[in-house]
Amino acid sequence: MPSPKGTESDAVCIVQLTDSHLYADPDADLLGLDTSDSLGAVVDLVLEEVSRVDLVLATGDIAQDGSERAYRRFIAAVEPLPAPCYWIPGNHDDATLMARIGADTGFSKDWIDAGNWRIVMLDSSIPGAVAGHLSVSQLELLELALDGAGERFVMVCLHHHPVPIGCDWMDPLGLLNVDDLLPRLRADRRVKVVLWGHIHQELDQQLDGLRLLATPSTCVQFARHSSDFATDTRPPGYRSLTLLPDGGIETRVSRLQSGLFLPDPGAVGY
């Protein structure tokens, strides 16, 4: 069982990629933006900026069309990153197909132990729906992960946002059974951070000592504080996190150069 003490070398360095929305067709685009090219550019940016990567976490909407070719293309796209990658499904994904491919490739795990941390990977997707929900089996998985974490600190990952983000159209499309998740996490002092995707924008909040983090998409960005669906001109990006051995968290969002990979300004939904 790890001690909560440690050296800087015991830190866990993570890159989060989210909402890549790949298609089977490499020439397909989302709202006029080439999602394959933008993911490749973000991976190149990670390789340029991040000197150490221990884990890559892909937090849903890997594919836009839920196709096996799209998932295989994602696996190929992240192969240059010098660390294992683990994924969870989002509302556009085929969770059953992802689990099958993930079992063969090692991309699917219920949790990952690294350094003084346990990283729990929850599936919040509902087949055929945009909003999210944690099933009884996923809540039981969370309990198993917490019960066996020992003295480790805990980060919980899911696709859907568990708190309001100030977007009228997006807020109803988050996690529907928040009351089954947040009170449990807030009651456990080992749980330090919740990490998600889905909202295609950056968020960093605190809730009773619990860090709440969301990350830009590797493709289209959504406008913050919008009443109706609206895209943003901010470029695609990723999040890097350093999970420190004492339970601290260092994190930042990095984006591609402004003006790159802009969606169709007339887009009204996807």
CATH for 51: 3.60.21.10
Please indicate, yes or no, if residue 269 is contained in any of the structural domains.
no
- Cα 74 from Cα 83, distance rounded (Å): 15
216: CB partners within 8 A, 6+ apart: 18, 200, 201, 202, 234, 236, 237, 238, 239, 253, 255
Residue-level length of the chain: 270
pLDDT of residue 9: 66
Token code pair at residue 247:
């339970």
pLDDT of residue 5: 43
pLDDT of residue 6: 45
The ranges of the chain with pLDDT < 70 are 1-9
How far is the CA of 135 from the CAs of 107, 119, 126, in angstroms?
Answer: 21, 19, 9
229: burial class by Cβ within 10 Å (0-12, 13-18, 19+)? middle
How far is the CA of 30 from the CAs of 40, 58, 78, 223, in angstroms?
Answer: 15, 19, 20, 16
> The domain containing residue 22 runs over which residues?
10-255
Q: Looking at the 3D structure of the chain, how many domains does it have?
A: 1
Please indicate, yes or no, if residue 84 is contained in any of the structural domains.
yes
Please indicate, yes or no, if residue 267 is contained in any of the structural domains.
no
pLDDT of residue 260: 87
Q: Are strands 153-157 and 191-196 parallel, antiparallel or unpaired?
A: parallel
Q: Helix or strand or coil: residue 13?
A: strand
Q: Evaluate whether 114 touches 222 at the Cβ level (below 8 Å).
A: no
- Cα 156 from Cα 188, distance rounded (Å): 12
Please indicate, yes or no, if residue 30 is contained in any of the structural domains.
yes
**Torsions phi, psi of 38, nearest 5?**
-70, -40
pLDDT of residue 268: 75
User: The pTM is what?
Assistant: 0.95
Token code pair at residue 57:
């976490």
How far is the CA of 94 from the CAs of 35, 60, 231, in angstroms?
Answer: 18, 10, 25
- Cα 211 from Cα 92, distance rounded (Å): 26
Q: Evaluate whether 175 touches 199 at the Cβ level (below 8 Å).
A: no
Question: In degrees, to the nearest 5, what angle opens at C-alpha 157 toward C-alphas 156 and 163?
Answer: 90
**Torsions phi, psi of 261, nearest 5?**
55, 60
pLDDT of residue 267: 75
- Tell me the β-bridge partners of 221: 232
Please indicate, yes or no, if residue 270 is contained in any of the structural domains.
no
Please indicate, yes or no, if residue 261 is contained in any of the structural domains.
no
